[in-house]
Amino acid sequence: MLILLRQGKIGKWFSGIGQEAISVGATLALEPDEYILPLHRNLGVFTTRKIPFKKLFAQWQGKKSGFTKGRDRSFHFGTNEYHIVGMISHLGAMLGVANGISTAHLLNNDKKISLVFSGDGGTSEGDFHEALNVAAVWSLPVIFLIENNGYGLSTPSNQQFKCKQFIDKGIGYGMEAYQVDGNNILDVFHKVDELSKSMRNAPRPILLECMTFRMRGHEEASGTKYVPQELFDEWSLKDPIANYEKFLFDLDLLNDLSKQSIYNELKSGMDDDLAEVFAEPEIVADTNEELSDIYAPYTQIITNPSSTNSSQKRLVDAISDGLKQSMEKFSNTVIMGQDVAEYGGVFKITDNFYKLFGKGRVRNTPITESSILGAGYGLSIKGYKAIVEMQFSDFVTCGFNQIVNNLAKSHYRWAQAADVVVRMPTGAGVGAGPFHSQSTEAWFFHVPGLKIVYPSNPFDAKGLLCASIEDPNPIMFFEHKALYRSIESQVPDDYYTLEIGKALSVQSGEDLTIITYGWGVQWAIDACKELGINAEIVDLRTLLPWDKETVKLAVEKTGKVLVLHEDTMLGGIGAEIAAWIGEHCFKSLDAPVTRVASLDTPVPLAKDLEDNFLPKKRLKIALEELSRY
């Protein structure tokens, strides 16, 4: 690879030279179906798992036959065939994913472990601390392997952390910690072998620090000028390959002839496979394929209630009912979140669920949003459906990376569905101030690969939640806190689903059209009734993907349209909808598209300030102006 880089035949390469013993030794010690989550310099993981050179070359060269169809580079890929989950560029993000895989091991009682790599620099990330804490609390069989090579890119260890050694951190998490010579393949192999055998029978996490040195730059283009020469001189004497060769020579297990034979065989195989890959045509973009691969293939089949039985349910009751019946229908469903077990969640939606389904499937979590979302992803890799509750949607910021870079991109990158529903109690109107009242749906509206569902009433809430849990794609499910106990309606008692991606005209009218969702639906109905306006009111219900056809028909029907949402105006979802209407329905318009939204400020606490922030009063003014146009 270094030769190809110098010849300009590849664009980038991360060398693991000097650290080979860690990847190879650790991988050899695990069972072939135990998942490994490697990093840039862990080439030995992929070769030890016997991935064909041709397949690796195709991945590195961005060919269609690579693991990511040319959509991601180097080791940023996963393969269930070889039980490897590749990294994303954000360090630490895969540690929580390993927790999810090992949670599945516990639930399955299959006596397996997972192993996830971290560099010494990556241990400064919050994800590192969250993942180790969760693994310790849940007694998960995960080996957290730290390759301590002395540098985070160009920054030496003494500028990265103050601890003497990483094994000292073990006591802080309540876990065992061990240190080995990372340049001795036998030391690495025997320690990982010993630990993994023990962990399969007595599940628990272990911190393993492998002492090594990076003999090349962070990546080849960065060079090594920042590293003192004496360090290279010292560590070159500890080269893992040279020392292992000497060991084999001393035991008469290797000689010059057999060594050359091994080398020739490998070189010939690599040359042949590389020639085949270079001969493959460059990728020709297919827009339809690119767009279709954003989501995992799924054709929704609508389930109707099996009886006519129904009862009055509040929004909070309908959501709880949908969750419970989904847990009954799908035994591979796991609920995770802060206080969701014995306490029943802060809104009591999962009250007594742990008695029905057990604490394995209804899991209280530490306050670790990122790690738990990552664990949800890991569970989905093992065939589970994960439901992760953000106690308040505002707190999702602490797990943003997992959602937009792991969950959303998973299927597009390596055809792995991220079967995770993120429940998001959201919205203002409850006097909760700037950090418990935000409308956060627009933060995710821009992210390909996500679906966003936002019901406005109990009937839709239950049917759409059940549908979201069935769907194998990552779904952000928004639940308005102010509506939890303030509205109720007849809701079927049986399990049923509604179509995701389908809007609904909740009121027919001729004067004008209102496009809205969530609490805005009730505002629109009330305002039109008060003002005597005969409006067509469309409840989007699903924000991503949103129902353009229903919107188009409603706009064509009245010629006047107002887009309403609780979120702040600037950059809100209404801007996209209004722009689309202007572009595709211009000939049907009899007036400019009107937008009404909350003020462009944080959500204030005091009631009069919050009422002024919300758009209810401005909605009436805008409706009167639009109706007179």
Nearest to 581 by CA among 607, 606, 554: 554
Domain that holds residue 27: 16-215+228-280
**Domain membership flag for residue 190:** yes
DSSP lists the bridge partners of residue 594 as 562
Per the structure block, which two tokens stand in for 416?
């792995």
Judged on CB neighbours under 10 Å (0-12, 13-18, 19+), 89 is: exposed
> What is the rounded average pLDDT for all residues in the chain?
96
Tell whether 158 and 267 lie within a shared domain.
yes
Q: Are residues 524 and 484 in the same domain?
A: no
pLDDT tens digits, residue range 52-61?
999 999 999 9
Token pair for 441: 């749906």
Note whether residue 7 is domain-resident. Answer: no
Q: Is residue 573 part of a domain?
A: yes
Question: Domain of 111: which CATH number?
Answer: 3.40.50.970
**Which neighbouring-strand residues pair with 514?**
537, 562
pLDDT of residue 278: 94
Asked if 457 and 487 count as a contact pair (C-beta separation under 8 A), the reply is yes
Q: Are 333 and 445 in the same domain?
A: yes
The yes-or-no verdict on residue 167 having pLDDT over 90 is yes
Which helix H or strand E contains 442, and what residues bound it? helix 441-445
DSSP letters for 203-267: ---EEEEEE---SS-SSGGG-STTS-HHHHHHHHTT-HHHHHHHHHHHTTS--HHHHHHHHHHHH
Query: Final residue of a domain: which of 460, 492, 524?
Result: 492
Contact partners, residue 264, CB within 8 Å, separation at least 6: none
> Per-residue confidence at 227, pLDDT binned at 50, 70, 90?
confident
Smallest CA-to-CA distance from 162 within 124, 211, 132 is with: 124
Same domain, 452 and 600: no
Same domain for 137 and 157, yes or no, is yes
Q: Is 436 a catalytic residue?
A: yes
- 518 shares its domain with 454: no
In this structure, the answer to whether residues 55 and 194 fall within a common structural domain is yes
Q: What local confidence, expressed as pLDDT, does residue 17 receive? A: 93
State the average pLDDT over residues 591-614: 97
Same domain, 522 and 558: yes
In a domain, 545, yes or no: yes
Which residue type, as a one-letter code, is found at position 351? D
Q: Write down the pTM of the prediction.
A: 0.96
Omega prior to 545 cis, within 30 of 0: yes
Q: Are residues 522 and 463 in the same domain?
A: no
Cα dist from 367 to 55, 278, 335, whole Å: 40, 49, 15
Which helix or strand (DSSP H or E) is residue 44 part of?
helix 43-48
| CA end-to-end distance (rounded Å), the chain | 68
Q: pLDDT above 70 covers what percent of the chain?
A: 100
- pLDDT, one tens digit per residue, over 251-270 is 999 999 999 999 999 999 89
Q: Residue 388's beta-bridge partner residues? A: 336, 422
Residue 423: alpha-carbon gap to chain centroid? 14
How far apart CA 508 and CA 319 sit, in angstroms, is: 27
Phi first, then psi: give them for residue 514, nearest 5 degrees: -115, 125
Domain annotation covers residue 599: yes
Q: Is 252 left (phi over 0), alpha (psi -120 to 50) or beta?
A: left
Section 409-428 average pLDDT:
97
Domain boundary among 436, 468, 492: 492
pLDDT grade for 237, boundaries at 50, 70 and 90: very high
Separation of CA 118 from chain center: 18
Spot the catalytic one: 129, 411, 436, 565. 436
Residue 292 lies in a domain: no
Q: What are 432's two structure tokens?
A: 């909760």
pLDDT in tens, 58-71: 999 999 999 999 99
CATH code of the domain in which 549 resides = 3.40.50.920
Per-residue pLDDT band at 557 (split at 50, 70, 90): very high
Average pLDDT over residues 561-572: 98
Q: In the structure encoding, which two tokens stand for residue 187, read together? A: 């030391």
Domain count, the chain: 3
- Tell me, yes or no, whether 375 and 262 share the same domain: no
Q: How far is CA 387 from CA 139, 327, 469, in A?
A: 21, 10, 8
Pairing label, strands 206-211, 176-181: parallel
User: Which of 135-144, 223-232, 263-272 is least confident?
Assistant: 223-232
Q: Does 153 have pLDDT greater than 80? A: no
Residue 484 and residue 532 share a domain:
no
Task: Show the tokens assigned to 230.
Answer: 């004496």
Q: Are residues 511 and 476 in the same domain?
A: no
pLDDT digits 0-9 by tens, 297-311: 999 999 999 999 999
In a domain, 4, yes or no: no
pLDDT at 10 over 90: no
Q: Among candidates 20, 87, 29, which has minimal Cα distance to 47? A: 20
Residue 301 in any domain: the answer is no
User: How far is residue 182's CA from residue 23's CA, in Å, rounded to a whole number?
Assistant: 9
Helix axes 95-108, 126-138, angle to 10 degrees: 10
Question: Is 464 within 8 Å of 423 (Cβ atoms)?
Answer: no
